[in-house]
Amino acid sequence: MPAYLTAAFYKFVNLPDAEQLKPQLLACCEQHAVKGLILLATEGINSTIAGPAEGVRAVLAYLRQDSRLADLRHKEAWSHRAPFYRMKVRIKKEIVTLGVPGVSPTHMAGTYVKPQDWNALISDPKVVLVDTRNDYEVGLGTFVGALDPHITRFADLPQWVAESAALNPAGKKPKVAMFCTGGIRCEKSTALLRAQGYEEVYHLEGGILKYLETMPPADSLWQGECFVFDERVSVGHGLQTGPHGLCRACRQPLTATDQASTQFEAGVSCPKCADHTSEAQKNSARERQRQWELAKSRGQVHIGVPLAPRHPRESGDPSQFTPNAA
C-alpha cells in the first residue's frame, strides 16, 4: 500500500478572516505531519496537501469544523513517494489569479457537467471547447477537439478570450465548454465569460482528474497525460503516475527524449532551459543536487530538495499540484 495520501480541494467562499485562519491551519498541518501548500484569500481556499492518511484526514476534519467549509469536497490519490517536502500556508488576493476585478465564481460560474455527461457535451459540433490551462500542460494531453489558447499563465486568458475568433463570431455568442486540471480555473473562466454576456457556458465538474479517475479508457475522449504540480509530474486514466520526469531548474515536464538529450543534467538543466541559464547558475544547481543526493544516500530528507523557484509560466495554483488543480 502506498504510504502517502494526497488530498486536493478548493472552495470559493467568503473568508474575510483569512489572515487569522493562517497560523491555526499551519499548526494543525504541522501537528499531523502534513505537507503541501494552502492558499487562503477572502474569496476562499485552494490547496493540495499530502502525508500519512490519518494526518491528512485530521486536517480535512479540522477544516470542516468551520461551518463555511462543512461541505468542502476533496480528491484523493496515493503515492509511494512524498509529493511535498514543506508545508506552507499563504495569503493571496485570489486563490487562483485571473486579475479581472468583479469576476465572482460564487455568483457567476457556469453550469457544472459531470464526467459521465462530458463526452456528449463536447461531441456537439456547436460547442466551442476550450482548454484553460497553460501551454506546457496542454502539451502533455488534452481533450479531442479542444482549443489551446497558448497562454503561459492563467491571467493571460482574458486577453485570449477577447481576441479569439472562435469565441467572438459574428452574431450570437456560442455555447462554450471549458475545462482545467481540477475545476478551479474553470470556475473563474466561466464566470468571466458569463460576465461578458455568454449565456451557455459549461465546465467539467472535478476537472480532468475527476474525468480520468472515473471514465473507462475505452470510452474516453482524453488524449495523453495530465500534468500535475508534484513529484508524480503527470497522471493518466485511473490517476496512475505517468512516464514524465521533471526539470528541477525550470520545472517543466520532460519526456524520455528530453531526458536522453545532452542538454539534460539532473537537477541542473534540460533542453528547454539549458540555453537560458548561466554557468554560475548551473554550478549552483549542481551543488544543490549534490547535497540532495548526499542526503538521500544517508536516508535523510534534504529540506533544500533541488527544486527551482516556480517558473513564471506557472500559476502557482496548488489545485494543479495533484488531483485537484485548476
Same-domain pairing of 153 and 69: no
Domain residues for the domain of 26 are: 4-91
Q: Of 91, 118, 133, which one is at a domain's C-terminal end?
A: 91
More confident residue, 312 or 306: 306
Strands (E), 164-261: 175-179, 201-204, 222-224, 226-227, 234-235, 245-246, 253-254
> How much is the average pLDDT of 100-108?
86
> 113 has which bridge partners?
204
Residue 160 lies in a domain: yes
Report the pLDDT value the prediction gives residue 303, as an integer from 0 to 100.
52
Residue 304 lies in a domain: no
In which element (H, E) is residue 186 found? helix 184-195
Residue 37 in grid coordinates: 501548500
The answer, as to whether pTM is greater than 0.85, is no
Same-domain pairing of 217 and 267: no
Q: Of 68, 91, 114, which one is at a domain's C-terminal end?
A: 91
Same-domain pairing of 134 and 218: yes
119-144 b/e (C-beta count within 10 Å ≥ 16 → b):
bebbeeeebbbbbbbbebbbbbbbbe
Same-domain pairing of 62 and 172: no
Residue 240 lies in a domain: no
Report the pLDDT value the prediction gives residue 85, as an integer from 0 to 100.
86
pLDDT in tens, 49-59: 999 999 999 99
User: Smallest Cα–Cα separation from 232: which of 202, 209, 206?
Assistant: 209
Mean pLDDT of the chain: 89
pLDDT in tens, 219-245: 999 999 999 877 788 999 998 889 998
Same-domain pairing of 143 and 198: yes
Residue 266 lies in a domain: yes
Residue 98 lies in a domain: no
Catalytic sites, residue numbers? 180
pLDDT in tens, 197-209: 999 999 999 899 9
User: What percentage of the chain exceeds 70 in pLDDT?
Assistant: 92
pLDDT band at 102 (very low <50, low <70, confident <90, very high): confident
Report the pLDDT value the prediction gives residue 323, as an integer from 0 to 100.
36
Residue 141 in grid coordinates: 494531453
Report the pLDDT value the prediction gives residue 248, as an integer from 0 to 100.
84
Same-domain pairing of 181 and 285: no
Give CA–CA dist 291/293, Å, rounded: 6
Lowest mean pLDDT among 33-37, 193-197, 320-324: 320-324
Residue 239 in grid coordinates: 490517476
Residue by residue, DSSP assigns 247-262 as -TTT--EE-HHHHHST
Residue with cell 528541477: 248
Same-domain pairing of 160 and 76: no
Contact in structure between 201 and 110 (CB atoms under 8 Å)? yes
For 9, the 3-state DSSP assignment is: strand
Q: Of 189, 208, 224, which one is at a domain's C-terminal end?
A: 224
pLDDT band at 308 (very low <50, low <70, confident <90, very high): very low
Instruction: Tell me the CATH number at 26.
Output: 3.30.70.100
Lowest mean pLDDT among 173-177, 267-271, 316-320: 316-320
pLDDT in tens, 251-262: 889 989 999 999
User: Smallest Cα–Cα separation from 249: which of 274, 232, 229?
Assistant: 274
Residue 109 lies in a domain: yes
Instruction: Tell me the CATH number at 217.
Output: 3.40.250.10
> 36 has which bridge partners?
49, 87
Lowest mean pLDDT among 106-120, 247-261, 304-318: 304-318
Same-domain pairing of 127 and 171: yes
Give CA–CA dist 98/2, Å, rounded: 36
> How much is the average pLDDT of 282-288?
90
Same-domain pairing of 80 and 189: no
Report the pLDDT value the prediction gives residue 316, as an integer from 0 to 100.
43
Q: Domain total for the chain?
A: 3
Same-domain pairing of 150 and 70: no
Same-domain pairing of 111 and 60: no
Residue 285 has pLDDT above 70, yes or no: yes
Same-domain pairing of 174 and 269: no
Residue 261 lies in a domain: yes
Residue 75 lies in a domain: yes
